Amino acid sequence: MPDENPMTTTIDPRTRDVAPPEPHEVRSRIMAIVGAASGNLVEWFDFYVYSFCALYFAPEFFPQGDQTTQLLNTAAIFAAGFFMRPVGSWVFGFVADRYGRRRSMVISVLIMCFGSAAIAVLPTYASIGIAAPILLLAVRLLQGLSVGGEYGTSATYMSEVAIGGKRGFYSSFQYVTLIGGQLLATLVLVVLQFWLTAAEMRAYGWRIPFAVGAVAALVALYLRSSLHETLSEETRKRAGAGRMSTIFKNPQNLRAFLIVLGFTAGGSLIFYTFTTYMQKYLVNTAGFSAATATNMMTVCLFLYMCMQPLFGILSDKIGRRTSMRIFTALSVLMTVPILSAIGATKSPTTAGALIVTALAVVSLYTSISGLVKAELFPPEVRALGVGLAYALGNAMFGGTAEYVALAFKQAGNESAFYYYVSFMMAIGFVVSLIMPDSRKDGWLQGHGMEH
């Protein structure tokens, strides 16, 4: 598809936020959000299926040890996938800033499709011995590479097609689809648990969601191939476009990079604590059955997904900086008491209410996460800057959340993990105090934005 279309013309920065957009332009941008979001949903469905199915396939790849040890091994491979994200963000960030956002997003979803199809047919330890977990690790590293390129590029793309004054609302759909991917993975698991016995789930049922993800990725591939490009030819040809030196040798870009890194460290940690790890926490600590935990998380994730546009609208009213300050401050105060209460309760209703409360606070961050970061960078390094800083913070703190939590539990000091999360959120609060007001000082406002 040629790049010459209404979405690639440069909008005058003096009028783009005050002149009402034409109806055809609104429709065009909404369809662009839908197209990008569909691929985002599939990417995250494929990635989170691994975490949600771990309770069933962990013994197939790690037959030795008790349940905690088996989950610890699968969590280590989950974390290893995160450490490929910085590489993926660098590769795909360069592609997105140098060759276009659309091309980067198409390649990333294609790689995820291959990875999910590979896991669906992967032999177990009983068939090929130690080669089974090694192959599992290799495929997860490939998927980590793909997801590493997904966040920065999709966040950049959605922020660039959003209409001025409603960017928080539009950009919130990045996490609507990210959470939707988790929710869809959970729903598939619920259906399988209804039709298959626990023994059947361990034997072959866990493979089905990976096969579903691979097929869905082909649909997303088609939708993404028809997206309009948002990066102009002029920007692609700028010296330093898509290069890390443009970030680290420019004081303003370096400051933006450190702000994104600081927010991601705490934000990704608390996000994964109350989403992917929470299912295991409900089973392994609170003592709920796997089916009960899955049903609870299905409801919680659905409510969490619905919250995102509402908190996105709120950020358009009060500003991104204010939202981030409220999020980090409340997270410091709530983490220890809420995690302690969830671990102690035997009531699914009480546990679910506590999880939803925590996720409401986290929504202050996730609804605008990509936008907050994209607003800090100029277009020629926007995808790279957002993606790389996010990937590094996510690899170090988000991807290791399950492993660290399980390690503390195995050592007999599980509550130390609660304080660890609170400490990282305190760092995020300090960052929120020094971040610029994106509505006044961000690149998307102060320098215009290309479409």
Structure token digits, residue 316: 């358009």
Give the pLDDT of residue 440: 59
Q: Is 327 helix (H, G, I), strand (E, B) or coil?
A: helix
Give the pLDDT of residue 221: 83
CA-CA distance, 141 to 168, in Å (whole number)?
Answer: 32
CA-CA distance, 433 to 377, in Å (whole number)?
Answer: 19
CA dihedral 372, 392, 39, 165 (to 10 degrees): 0
Give the pLDDT of residue 22: 61
Length of the chain in terms of residues written:
451
pLDDT (tens digit per residue) in 211-234: 998 888 888 888 787 777 877 777
Higher-confidence residue of 116 and 38: namely 116
Give the pLDDT of residue 333: 96
CA dihedral 274, 276, 278, 279 (to 10 degrees): 150
Residue 73, domain member (yes or no) = yes
Question: Could you tell me the CATH number of the domain that includes residue 316?
Answer: 1.20.1250.20
Residue 15, domain member (yes or no) = no
CB of 362 within 8 A of CB of 231?
no
For residue 442, pLDDT beyond 70: no
Residue 2, domain member (yes or no) = no
Residue 18, domain member (yes or no) = no
Higher-confidence residue of 297 and 335: namely 335
CA-CA distance, 425 to 415, in Å (whole number)?
Answer: 16
Give the pLDDT of residue 439: 60
Prediction pTM value: 0.79
Q: Which amino acid belongs to residue 399?
A: G
The packing angle between helices 207-225 and 23-61, to 10°, is 160
For residue 362, pLDDT beyond 90: yes
CB of 340 within 8 A of CB of 418?
yes
| Percent of the chain's residues with pLDDT above 70 | 90
| Full residue range of the structural domain in which residue 261 is found | 23-446
The H helix count followed by the E strand count for the chain is 23, 0
Core vs surface per residue 253-285: b (16+ CB within 10 A) or e = beebbebbbbbbbbbbbbbbbbbbbbbbbbbbb
Give the pLDDT of residue 451: 38
Give the pLDDT of residue 448: 38
Give the pLDDT of residue 420: 96
| Percent of the chain's residues with pLDDT above 90 | 29
For residue 17, pLDDT beyond 60: no
Contacts 24+ apart (CB under 8 A), 305-310: 305/175, 305/176, 305/179, 305/180, 305/183, 307/359, 307/360, 307/363, 307/367, 308/172, 308/173, 308/175, 308/176, 308/179, 308/363, 308/366, 308/367, 309/169, 309/172, 309/173, 309/176, 309/367, 310/363, 310/367
Residue 1, domain member (yes or no) = no
pLDDT band at 9 (very low <50, low <70, confident <90, very high): very low
Residue 451, domain member (yes or no) = no
Q: Calculate mean pLDDT across residues 115-144.
A: 88
How many angstroms separate the Cα of 388 from the Cα of each of 89, 100, 109, 174, 328? 5, 17, 18, 17, 22
DSSP 223-244: HHHTPPP-S-HHHHTSTTTT-H
Q: Calculate mean pLDDT across residues 269-298.
A: 89
Give the pLDDT of residue 21: 58
Higher-confidence residue of 444 and 349: namely 349
Q: Calculate mean pLDDT across residues 309-326.
A: 93
How many distinct structural domains can be found in the chain?
1
CB of 256 within 8 A of CB of 377?
yes
Higher-confidence residue of 45 and 357: namely 357
Give the pLDDT of residue 271: 94
Core vs surface per residue 303-313: b (16+ CB within 10 A) or e = bbbebbbebbe
Going 215 to 221 to 222 to 224, the CA torsion angle's sign is positive
CA dihedral 129, 135, 141, 143 (to 10 degrees): -120
CA-CA distance, 383 to 399, in Å (whole number)?
Answer: 21
pLDDT (tens digit per residue) in 148-187: 888 788 888 888 877 667 888 888 888 888 888 878 887 8
Residue 4, domain member (yes or no) = no
pLDDT band at 4 (very low <50, low <70, confident <90, very high): very low
Strand partners, 450: 10
Residue 383, domain member (yes or no) = yes
pLDDT (tens digit per residue) in 18-72: 445 565 566 667 777 777 777 778 877 877 788 778 878 888 888 776 677 777 7
Give the pLDDT of residue 159: 80
